[in-house]
């Protein structure tokens, strides 16, 4: 039996397109959540997983990111389905975990989907003026202290001061051997 699952994450998104695609794919039952993909507990996904419990059943989604946001959760869910003999089908990416190639592509596309969400989130944050990343260890007042290697022309002289080592002595080296051998090299 084919069981369809869809998810929309905001009130502005409409589930009709996913519902239609799952219907065309031959899903006998369709479950749709209106919740963030970050949430591990989604009531309609739980219902879909209860229905898809026999070997040769298929859980069908339109896109891999509708199933979950983190690669860890996607792999955990895929493994749980595999243990029950249930296959996962992702329509847009052409993935069917009943094949070895489908299982491999599922894992690769899950990683790519997670990367794209991160990149989109960072771009949205930058557009709002947030840069993200680790905060600098030194504030602007301390970052140009003398002795630091910087491109500032006032500090480069202190960074390039000559060393105070004494030059090697010019005395002749000591003999290597003090033995009593009388044999000399030819």
Coil, helix or strand at residue 81: helix
Identify whether 169 is a catalytic site residue: no
Residue 1 burial (CB count, 10 A): 14
Residue 114 burial (CB count, 10 A): 19
Burial code (b: 16+ CB inside 10 Å, e: under 16) for 28-57 equals eebbbbeeebeeeebebbeebbebbeeeeb
CB-side neighbour CA atoms (13 Å) of 28? 6
Contact status, residue 89 vs residue 56, Cβ threshold 8 Å? no
Among 9, 158, 170, 172, which one carries the catalytic annotation? 9
- Dist. CA 155–CA 166, nearest whole Å: 25
Please choose, from the candidates 90, 89, 27, the residue with its C-alpha nearest in 3D space to the C-alpha of residue 19. 27
User: So which residues are the catalytic ones?
Assistant: 9
């Amino acid at each position: 039996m084919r069981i369809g699952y869809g998810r929309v994450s905001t009130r502005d998104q409409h589930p009709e397109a996913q519902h239609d695609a799952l219907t065309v794919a031959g899903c006998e039952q369709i479950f749709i959540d209106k919740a963030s993909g970050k949430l591990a507990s989604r009531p309609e996904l739980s219902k879909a997983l209860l229905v898809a419990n026999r070997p040769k059943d298929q859980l069908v989604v339109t896109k891999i990111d509708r199933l979950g946001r983190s690669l860890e959760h996607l792999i955990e869910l895929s493994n749980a389905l595999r243990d029950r003999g249930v296959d996962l089908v992702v329509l847009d990416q052409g993935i069917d975990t009943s094949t070895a190639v489908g299982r491999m592509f599922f894992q690769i596309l899950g990683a790519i989907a997670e990367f794209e969400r991160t990149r989109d989130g960072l771009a949205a944050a930058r557009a709002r003026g947030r840069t993200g990343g680790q905060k600098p260890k030194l504030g602007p007042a301390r970052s140009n202290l003398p002795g630091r290697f910087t491109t500032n022309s006032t500090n480069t002289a202190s960074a390039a001061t000559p060393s105070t080592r004494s030059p090697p002595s010019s005395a002749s080296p000591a003999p290597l051997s003090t033995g009593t051998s009388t044999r000399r090299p030819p």
